[in-house]
Amino acid sequence: RSVLFRRKSTYFITTPIFYVNAPPHIGHVYTAVIADAAHRFQMLLGCQETVFSTGTDEHGTKIQEAALQSGSPLPQYCDHISLQYRTLFQSCNIDYTDFVRTTEDRHKSEVHKFWNVLQAGGHIYLGTYSGWYCTPDETFLSENQLAERQGPDGCTYKVSAESGHPVEWTNEENFMFKLSSFQDDLLRWLQNDESVHPAKFRRQLIDFVSNDDLLHDVSVSRPKDRVHWGIPVPDAPHQTIYVWLDALVSYVTVAQSKLWPPDLQVIGKDILKFHGVYWPAFLIAAGLEPPRSLLCHSHWKVDGKKMSKSKGNIIDPLDCIVRYTASGLRYFLLREGVAHSDGNYSETKAIRILNSELADSLGNLLNRCSGKTVNPDQIFPKFCQHSFSIYCNSDEALKLVESLSALPDLVKDHFLACNFYKGIDCIVATLHAANRFFESQKPWELCKKHQSPHQNGVLHLTMETLRVCGILLQPIVPELSDTLLRKIGISKEKRMWKDIRPFSWEQGRLCNVPISAEKIMLYKRIMVSKS
């Protein structure tokens, strides 16, 4: 069962498919924004055949119970929440190319095909499952994954040690997948540094997979009388396919064979075991390559606490969009989110960052060099080596030139590793250097009726900074970057990686491009409410 690596020219990236048991919150948007930024960055680099999939996971007990509580029939209930995801993602400029729902026919037939391949390969057998099942997490747990908790009635309950959700004793006839026979294959996949990022999560998986007490065979079906809302097992319709097998196969549903394997699968740490153990084992058993790379991110908390309905501390992304705009929300999540440790969501922090970086550093720099006083000809002045060497040789200028010249490659490394916060940090540092340079040159004092070579030198260097930063920010804040680049006269065809190199304009190629007359406020400062 050796895994052969093929070269391919396509790029395939996924988010998890999200449960429709509740409306989306900021954590779901975070995952989608990471995947969207990574996908947009590939396109910026020039990759033409890309697929970016997301979707909704609509089967299982959890959804059955949520629909029952909502009072709507199951199909309508699923339609309703699935649509909320789609609309929200559109408002956040998450430019997915496929949205898959597990209730779609194309998916059901793919699941049947996948099941039949596993069965034909002898990887599935009929067994009796006795053990603890955690419905909110849709997972089986062994004794050492449990903890005890006292309920409000004073009785002691067993719960999942990891999530704190209650478990129930289950004893039933199920189809089982021979997970335990994939230990060597899994370890081989995990030995590759690229398989899981950050490294701490790869180490956790290696520990799990190496532990014979944890790597049990896994039940992959449920009796239909208990879980009716799901895909029936082929030739055994009294059994329903386990929701995680069903959900994972959704990645196969969207991929055409030339796309396989996924290049990057973005997930949260709560579903690491499913993607880092079950998923590669299912794939290897089905004769498919496991994903090239999983990016596992940590969680957003609120005031240091897990977000949950019962705590009433769920952050609604729609409220954030109203308050900060979609660009503001995307920027904050990618600026502050760090994959290897949990982030703390705070409105005060979001406002401080957005005001200081988007409104001040970026917005003010644009206003300064596009205003009529400093830029009476309303142009992006051409690069002139002569004026450059005479006027732009101050300390501030040299620092800016150095920072701007190194910026694209630095950002590329960070964005490719999905360390968006590090890439943004470099961009902000360059913007600060540009603001310091601009202030030191006092171009408003140089202003006469027509722009002098000195003034043009200052404007060129500042606008060149805006051009390069604008191109680099496209994956992070696509809408805002578009406004910025449009304002400084950079046409849509000139916003790719091949165009980015600073100061590479040959004389005359960028010949005093007129800037747009459009009056804009790139990012409006957010007022802090007084309560």
Contact residues toward ligand ME8 (CB under 6 A) are: 16-19, 27-28, 30-31, 57, 247-248, 250, 267-268, 270-271, 299-300, 307
Q: How far is the CB of 302 from ligand ME8 (least distance, A)?
A: 9
Distance, in Å, from the CA atom of 121 to the CA atom of 181, rounded to the nearest integer, reads 13
Distance, in Å, from the CA atom of 198 to the CA atom of 298, rounded to the nearest integer, reads 10
Q: How far is the CB of 249 from ligand ME8 (least distance, A)?
A: 8
Task: Sort strands 379-380 and 513-514 into parallel, antiparallel or unpaired.
Answer: antiparallel
Q: How far is the CB of 410 from ligand ME8 (least distance, A)?
A: 26
Q: How far is the CB of 252 from ligand ME8 (least distance, A)?
A: 11
Closest to ligand ME8 by CB, 186 vs 468, is 186
Closest to ligand ME8 by CB, 13 vs 490, is 13
Closest to ligand ME8 by CB, 310 vs 531, is 310
Closest to ligand ME8 by CB, 248 vs 488, is 248
Closest to ligand ME8 by CB, 112 vs 299, is 299
SS3 assignment, position 11: strand
What is the CB-side half-sphere exposure of residue 120 using CA atoms within 13 A?
Answer: 9
Geometric angle at alpha carbon 255, from 251 and 260, rounded to 5°: 95
CB 475 within 8 A of CB 44: yes
Closest to ligand ME8 by CB, 74 vs 434, is 74
Q: How far is the CB of 20 from ligand ME8 (least distance, A)?
A: 8
Contacts of 491 (CB under 8 A, 6+ apart): none
Closest to ligand ME8 by CB, 31 vs 483, is 31
Return the H-helix or E-strand segment holding 300. strand 300-302
Helix 395-416 / helix 26-45 crossing angle, nearest 10 deg: 110
Q: How far is the CB of 106 from ligand ME8 (least distance, A)?
A: 16
Q: How far is the CB of 281 from ligand ME8 (least distance, A)?
A: 14
Task: Sort strands 236-241 and 305-306 into parallel, antiparallel or unpaired.
Answer: unpaired
CB 145 within 8 A of CB 162: yes
Closest to ligand ME8 by CB, 14 vs 474, is 14
SS3 assignment, position 233: strand
Q: How far is the CB of 337 from ligand ME8 (least distance, A)?
A: 8
Q: How many CB atoms lie within 10 A of CB 416?
A: 14
Closest to ligand ME8 by CB, 305 vs 442, is 305
- How is residue 209 annotated by DSSP? H
Measured in degrees and rounded to the nearest 5, phi and psi for residue 91 equal -65, -25
Distance, in Å, from the CA atom of 75 to the CA atom of 494, rounded to the nearest integer, reads 46
Which residue's Cβ lies closest to ligand ME8?
A: 27
Locate the DSSP E strands across 220-277: 221-223, 232-233, 236-241, 264-268
Closest to ligand ME8 by CB, 252 vs 433, is 252
Q: How far is the CB of 495 from ligand ME8 (least distance, A)?
A: 30
Q: How far is the CB of 338 from ligand ME8 (least distance, A)?
A: 11
CB 329 within 8 A of CB 321: yes
Q: 167: which 2 tokens?
A: 């478990």
